[in-house]
Amino acid sequence: MSLILPKRLLSRRRLLQLSGLSGVGLLLNGCGRNLFSNSVRQISEPLNQSLEELLLSHKPVPEFAVSDIEPDKLLVNTFDFTPQINPAQFQLTINGEVSNPMQLSMADIQKLPLTSMVIRHVCVEGWAAIVQWGGVRLQDLVALVQPKSSVRYVYFKSADGYYESWDIASAMHPQTLMAYQKNGEPLSTDNGAPIRLASPIKLGYKQSKWVTEIILVTSLLPAKGYWEDQGYEWFAGL
């Protein structure tokens, strides 16, 4: 029985399973930041079978060189107002059809592996820009909350009232990031600080700035997105 095994022979993940607590649960219970490393470790663990199969089907979009970045071409495109968020108090909520709903501070998020990519941002209004985004893969955040196999869509709520929904395949793409850096610098408030979506596979309006909540769901609601609900195409793939 497990009780007679010396603890060091058990993997941390196994220990967490045995204790009936996930790393995330421990994190939320305030048992100390050092335990966050257990959550990070779980990123390499399987999600669920349907999502694991999805991950195998992804084709990476070719990226540009850092020398191709067009710093002046990314226009600020904000439709309502620019929310001012205190990054020290900010919490990103991830919930919905998941086993481990969680809230992450920017410090938590910045402990996760950083991915950087140089891609083209394309706005439906007729401009484009090559941009470098740095952040955490959305698939890594999704792995932390342990999605149920029923999950098909992801909603993103933003601090300015903007909202979006994505198909889970696009959300789990390895180049779909929750970005907190632009062109090698911390993300500016205008561009969505402290954290925003960035992906080479979707039009600009899918790429929510100032994201506060990520909700994994089985079905789309009648409200699909800020622009989509005014007639814009929902999938908006590039």
Ligand X SMILES: Nc1nc2c(c(=O)[nH]1)N[C@H]1C(S)=C(S)[C@@H](COP(=O)(O)O)O[C@H]1N2
Q: Which residues bind ligand X (CB under 6 A)?
A: 74-79, 123, 158, 160, 162, 191-192, 204-205, 207-210
In the complex with ligand X, which residue's Cβ is closer, 166 or 205? 205
Contact between 162 and Mo ion by CB under 5 A: the answer reads no
Contact between 147 and Mo ion by CB under 5 A: the answer reads no
- Min dist CB 56 to Mo ion, Å, is 31
Within residues 47-86, the interface with Mo ion by CB under 5 A covers: 77
Strand runs (DSSP E) across the chain, as ranges? Answer: 91-96, 102-105, 115-123, 127-137, 153-158, 163-167, 177-182, 185-186, 196-198, 211-217
Within residues 105-124, the interface with Mo ion by CB under 5 A covers: 123
In the complex with Mo ion, which residue's Cβ is closer, 180 or 205? 205
In the complex with Mo ion, which residue's Cβ is closer, 43 or 238? 238
- Alpha-carbon dihedral angle through residues 84, 32, 24, 46, given to the nearest 10 degrees: 110
Contact between 205 and Mo ion by CB under 5 A: the answer reads yes
- Min dist CB 78 to ligand X, Å, is 4
Q: Which residue is nearest to ligand X (CB)?
A: 204
In the complex with Mo ion, which residue's Cβ is closer, 42 or 207? 207
42 contact choice in Mo ion, ligand X, none (CB below 5 to 8 Å, kind-dependent): none
Contact between 227 and Mo ion by CB under 5 A: the answer reads no
Residue 60 CB: number of other CB atoms within 10 A? 11
In the complex with ligand X, which residue's Cβ is closer, 49 or 230? 230
Beta bridge partners of 201: none
Q: Which residues of 32-45 are buried (b: 16+ CB within 10 A; e: fewer)?
A: eeebbebbeebbee
Q: Which residues, at least 6 apart from 212, have a Cβ–Cβ distance to it below 8 Å?
A: 90, 91, 92, 93, 157, 158, 159
Q: Fill in the amino acid letter for 201.
A: I
166 contact choice in ligand X, Mo ion, none (CB below 5 to 8 Å, kind-dependent): none
Contact between 204 and Mo ion by CB under 5 A: the answer reads yes
